[in-house]
Structure 1
Amino acid sequence: MLPGETLACYAGPDGTMDVGTCQAGLKTCDDDGQSFGPCVGEVVPTPESCVTVDVDDDCDGAIDCVGEIEWGRLFSSPAPTTASPPTSTARGTSSSAAW
């Protein structure tokens, strides 16, 4: 090892490097030439996040965010955040949700 020498590093599961967001980082040999520093820039799998619906966060080769969240993103229809209490009408009681 030579001081300043760099090596690729990746601690994620086999088969996930360069899939989705996963990528290797670099570790640099310390000034004493005896050891390497931490892996910098490495991205390992994380649970899918439907906040990033167009991204393969868990590096399995598939974008797994589907269903209501994906539908809402595509059609810009926000989901209800709170339920409104039932309201009384001349015909009875009905419920509504805040959109």
Structure 2
Amino acid sequence: MSSPLFVLATIIAKPNHARQVSDAIQLVLAPSRQEEGCYRYDLLQDNSNDHRFVIQEQWQNKAALNAHMQTAHFKALVESIAPLANIDVAELNLLA
């Protein structure tokens, strides 16, 4: 059995685009949470920078994450926010 995979996607909206980026992310929350292998899919906003968002994800394994990245809602999200934000994604394994 493979161990869970965690993802932290940090998204920093460009000036004047925070609301648009936030709205786009919120559209994928429900369908992502319904995907097989999704344990957690939460949207966080930085308290000191309203243009900085973090999507905190937990997946059953890498295969579940890969399947997520092939969904229409995920592809639409990336396409819609890519010109409006800087995106950094980290995949992490649980150590303890």
**TM-score interval, normalised by the smaller of the two chains:** under 0.3
With CA pairs under 8 Å and 6+ residues apart, which has the higher RCO, 1 or 2? 2
More strand by share: 2
TM-score by length of 1: 0.23
- Find the structure with the greater CA-based Rg: 1
State the TM-score, normalizing by the size of structure 2.
0.23
